[in-house]
C-alpha cells in the first residue's frame, strides 16, 4: 500500500514537473529555430544586396570574383547571358544534379515570385537591376534552399543570375540542437524521478511511521485485553461449576479484571483522542502548591501502607497562578507517583518537589527505587513499553508515561527523566509560565 502510494506520488510529482519542463524546452526550441531561420534568411538577403551592388559596379563580371563569392558565402551561381549560360558556367561544367536545381529554382521563381513588369526588361536599357530572394524545397531532392534571382540589364545584355544557398548546414545545426535538448530533457526527467522518489519518501515517512505506530498500538492493545478477558471467561466457567458459596471468589476476580479492562480502555481512548487532536483541555489559573498538597494527601496513606516515606517540598514564597488544566496535571503527577510507588522497594522514599523558574513551573518526583537504564530512558514514553514486562506489577500496561507525555505536549510543556542522585530516578515536568 505504502509502496503503491509512494510510486504514484513520485510519478505525479515528476510527471507534472517534467511536462512543464518539456513544454518550456520545446517552446524555447521553437523560438530559437524560428529566429535562426529568420537570421539566416536576412543574412542571405543582405549578401544578395551586396552582390547585386557589386555586380552593378562591375563592367565585366570576372570569374575570380564569382569563385570568391561562391567560396565566401557557400553559394552556387548560375549566370545566363541573354538566356545562354555564362562563360564561367561553361568552363566549370555544372553537374546534372546542380543544373536541375538551378532549373527548379528558376521554375519556382517564375511560377510563384516573378514580378510582372509593365514593360519588358530590355526597355529599361541601358541600366536596370532587380533581385528577389525566396525559400524553396527542391522537388527532386527534397532539400531546402534559399534562392535568389538577380535580373540585370547591362549594356543591352540581359543577365539573369541564379544564386542558391543550401540550408543543410543550418538544418544540421538545428538537428544537433534538438538532439541536445532531447538528451538534456531525458537526463532531467531521470534526475527528477530520483529526486521525486526521495522527496515523496521523506514526505510520506511520518505517515508511514504513524501507520506503523497505529498497527503496533492495535496489536499491543489486543494483546493486553486478551489476558483479563481470558481470566473473566475462565472465572465465569468456574462459577457455573461450583457451589454458590465458592462463587464469591470468582465473581471478585471477574470484577477486578473488568475494572482493569475498563481502565485500559479509558487510557486507550485518551491516547486516541490526543492523536486525533480531540484532547480537550480546560485551562484555568491554578495554584500549583495547593494542587500538589491535595495529591500528596491522597497518596500519603498508600505510601504509608507500603512503608515508603513520601515527602513534599514547596517553595516558601507564594507562587503566581499557573495556566493549565488542573485535572490533567493531576493525572500526570498521579502517574509519576503511582510508578514511583510501584518501582520503589519497602523502606524507600519518594520526594515530590515544586519550584517556579523563569520560564516555567518545575515539578519533580524523585524515588530511590530500582532506577531506569539509559537505554530504557529513551523508550519508556513509548506506548505499551515496559522495562522487562515481568518486572511490572499487574495493572501496569505501559501506557501511563505515554499518557503523561501527551498531556504535557498538549500544554506546550515537557516531561523527562534522569537518574536520581544516589539511586532511583527523577521524573520532571515543566509547564510554561
Q: Point out which residues bind ligand ADP (CB under 6 A).
A: 335, 339-340, 343, 367, 369-370, 372, 380, 385-387, 392, 396-402, 425
Residue nearest to ligand ADP (CB): 400
Nearer Cβ to ligand ADP (88/405) = 405
Is 169 strand, coil or helix? helix
- Residue written as grid cell 485518551: 270
What minimum distance in Å lies between the beta carbon of 215 and ligand ADP? Answer: 20
Distances (CA, A) of 408 to 63, 219, 227, 275, 402: 99, 25, 30, 14, 10
Nearer Cβ to ligand ADP (136/343) = 343
What minimum distance in Å lies between the beta carbon of 375 and ligand ADP? Answer: 12
What minimum distance in Å lies between the beta carbon of 259 and ligand ADP? Answer: 15
Nearer Cβ to ligand ADP (249/418) = 418
Nearer Cβ to ligand ADP (140/307) = 307
Enter the DSSP assignment of 389.
G
What minimum distance in Å lies between the beta carbon of 390 and ligand ADP? Answer: 10
What minimum distance in Å lies between the beta carbon of 10 and ligand ADP? Answer: 39
- Long-range residue pairs from 103-110, CB within 8 A, at least 24 positions apart, any chain: 104/136, 104/138, 104/139, 104/140, 105/136, 105/145, 105/147, 105/149, 105/162, 105/164, 106/149, 106/162, 108/134, 108/136, 108/147, 109/134, 109/147, 109/149
Distances (CA, A) of 418 to 53, 79, 161, 397, 430: 97, 102, 100, 22, 14
Nearer Cβ to ligand ADP (355/392) = 392
- What residues contact 374, with CB distance under 8 A and at least 6 apart? none
What minimum distance in Å lies between the beta carbon of 5 and ligand ADP? Answer: 33
Is 61 strand, coil or helix? coil
What minimum distance in Å lies between the beta carbon of 411 and ligand ADP? Answer: 18
Residue 312, phi then psi, degrees to nearest 5: -130, 130
Nearer Cβ to ligand ADP (147/413) = 413
Enter the DSSP assignment of 126.
T
CB hemisphere CA count around 294 (13 angstroms): 12
- What residues contact 432, with CB distance under 8 A and at least 6 apart? 359, 360, 411, 412, 413
What minimum distance in Å lies between the beta carbon of 340 and ligand ADP? Answer: 5
Nearer Cβ to ligand ADP (155/394) = 394
CA distance 158 to 397: 111
CA distance 367 to 427: 9
CA distance 303 to 101: 112
* Closest listed residue to residue 334, CA positions, set 260, 423, 267, 255: 267
Nearer Cβ to ligand ADP (181/384) = 384
Nearer Cβ to ligand ADP (129/331) = 331
What minimum distance in Å lies between the beta carbon of 344 and ligand ADP? Answer: 7
CA 137 and chain centroid, separation = 49
What minimum distance in Å lies between the beta carbon of 404 and ligand ADP? Answer: 7
Nearer Cβ to ligand ADP (279/384) = 384
- Residue written as grid cell 505501559: 398
For residues 343 and 367, the answer to whether their CB atoms sit within 8 Å is yes
Peptide bond into 126 cis (omega under 30): yes
Amino acid at each position: 500500500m505504502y509502496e503503491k502510494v509512494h510510486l504514484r506520488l513520485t510519478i505525479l510529482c515528476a510527471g507534472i514537473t517534467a511536462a512543464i519542463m518539456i513544454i518550456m524546452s520545446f517552446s524555447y526550441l521553437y523560438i530559437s529555430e524560428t529566429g535562426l531561420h529568420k537570421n539566416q534568411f536576412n543574412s542571405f538577403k543582405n549578401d544578395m544586396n551586396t552582390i547585386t551592388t557589386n555586380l552593378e559596379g562591375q563592367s565585366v563580371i570576372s570569374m575570380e570574383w564569382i569563385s570568391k563569392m561562391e567560396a565566401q558565402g557557400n553559394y552556387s551561381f548560375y549566370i545566363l547571358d541573354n538566356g545562354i549560360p555564362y562563360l564561367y558556367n561553361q568552363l566549370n561544367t555544372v553537374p546534372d544534379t546542380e543544373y536541375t536545381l538551378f532549373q527548379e529554382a528558376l521554375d519556382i521563381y517564375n511560377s510563384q515570385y516573378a514580378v510582372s513588369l509593365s514593360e519588358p526588361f530590355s526597355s529599361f536599357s541601358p541600366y536596370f537591376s532587380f533581385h528577389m530572394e525566396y525559400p524553396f524545397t527542391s522537388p527532386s531532392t527534397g532539400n531546402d534552399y534559399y534562392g535568389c534571382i538577380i535580373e540585370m540589364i547591362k549594356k543591352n545584355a540581359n543577365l539573369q543570375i541564379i544564386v542558391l544557398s543550401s540550408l543543410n548546414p543550418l538544418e544540421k545545426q538545428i538537428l544537433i540542437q534538438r538532439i541536445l535538448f532531447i538528451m538534456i530533457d531525458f537526463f532531467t526527467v531521470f534526475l527528477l524521478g530520483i529526486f521525486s522518489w526521495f522527496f515523496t519518501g521523506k514526505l510520506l515517512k511520518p505517515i508511514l511511521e504513524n501507520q506503523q505506530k497505529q498497527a503496533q498500538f492495535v496489536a499491543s492493545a489486543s494483546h493486553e485485553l486478551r489476558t483479563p478477558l481470558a481470566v473473566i471467561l475462565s472465572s465465569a466457567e468456574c462459577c457455573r461449576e461450583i457451589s454458590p458459596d465458592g462463587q464469591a471468589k470468582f465473581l471478585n476476580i471477574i470484577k477486578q479484571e473488568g475494572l482493569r479492562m475498563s481502565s485500559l480502555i479509558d487510557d486507550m481512548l485518551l491516547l486516541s483522542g490526543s492523536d486525533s487532536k480531540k484532547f480537550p483541555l480546560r485551562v484555568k489559573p491554578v495554584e500549583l502548591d495547593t494542587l500538589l498538597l491535595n495529591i500528596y494527601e491522597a497518596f500519603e496513606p498508600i505510601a504509608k501502607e507500603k512503608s515508603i516515606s513520601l515527602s513534599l517540598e514547596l517553595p516558601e514564597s507564594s507562587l503566581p497562578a499557573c495556566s493549565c488544566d488542573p485535572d490533567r496535571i493531576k493525572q500526570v503527577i498521579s502517574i509519576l507517583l503511582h510508578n514511583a510507588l510501584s518501582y520503589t522497594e519497602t523502606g524507600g522514599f519518594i520526594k515530590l518537589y515544586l519550584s517556579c523558574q523563569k520560564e516555567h513551573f518545575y515539578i519533580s518526583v524523585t524515588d530511590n527505587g530500582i532506577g531506569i537504564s539509559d537505554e530504557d530512558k529513551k523508550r519508556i514514553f513509548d506506548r505499551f513499553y515496559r522495562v522487562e514486562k515481568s518486572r511490572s506489577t499487574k495493572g501496569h500496561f505501559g501506557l501511563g508515561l505515554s499518557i503523561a507525555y501527551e498531556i504535557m505536549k498538549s500544554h506546550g510543556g515537557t516531561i523527562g527523566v534522569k537518574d536520581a542522585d544516589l539511586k532511583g530516578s527523577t521524573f520532571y515536568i515543566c509547564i510554561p509560565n
